[in-house]
Chain A
Amino acid sequence: MKTTNSRFGEIEYDPDSLLYFPAGLIGLPDLRYFIVMPNKKKGPLFWIQSVDDPDIAFVLADPTNFFLEYKVVPEANERKILHLEKEDECFILTVVTVPPDQNITLNLAAPILLSPKTNRAMQVILEDSVYSSKMPLPQ
């Protein structure tokens, strides 16, 4: 086990179970390694802590918890980056913005693709899609 600092104190983690973003996140290319934090509360939200920058953490969710029909299929070059083989599963996650007024929004325009087998992940932009980068939760 290793430890790293975060805004929430020192965190112990297993280096073998880190998420690896070979290209970082969009606009944040140096953030390659993240710790998946177990959720203290029940519910669809969880968070990941950057190992590269203690100040940065993201709240994530499986968007189909809120938008059942949301679907993203990784393209061939994305499958290559994730080392996804033909039958491998690919998780689709979304970055959640948590503002002080607690009206959270989901960035459905730039989902995160994750291979649970290799822990490799990447963020993609769905440029021609109808999805918003600030999608409020359905009422």
Chain B
Amino acid sequence: MLVLTRKLGEGIVIGDDVTITVVEMKGGNVRIGIDAPRSKKIYRQEIYDRIVEENRGAAHWDMTDLNSISDNLTVKKVTK
């Protein structure tokens, strides 16, 4: 991993279209500003990781379970 030291207000440029700036440092938190094209997806890492894990877990299942669930599932329209 490339590790760089930056001061408040300084930034990092990635490629031609992504700029990351240190906006604020307070009480162990670092606020980061990101300039990137809208088509670039930006996620907090733990949220991204959770979805990846959920997708991998959902990819392997048993047909017997699906059939048995479908038999027992009653669709109820409810309000969340």
Contacts and interface: CB of A to CB of B under 8 A. Distances in A.
B80 to A, nearest CB: 5
Interface stretch (A11-19, A36-44, A83-91): A36-44
Contact of A66 (B59, B66, B69, B76): B76
Contact of B54 (A44, A95, A102): A95
Contacts of B69: 45, 98, 102, 104
B38 A44 contact: no
26 contacts: A8-B63, A26-B51, A26-B52, A27-B53, A28-B59, A41-B67, A56-B60, A58-B55, A58-B59, A66-B76, A67-B78, A68-B78, A68-B80, A69-B79, A76-B38, A99-B61, A99-B65, A107-B54, A109-B47, A110-B51, A123-B51, A123-B55, A125-B47, A125-B51, A127-B43, A137-B73
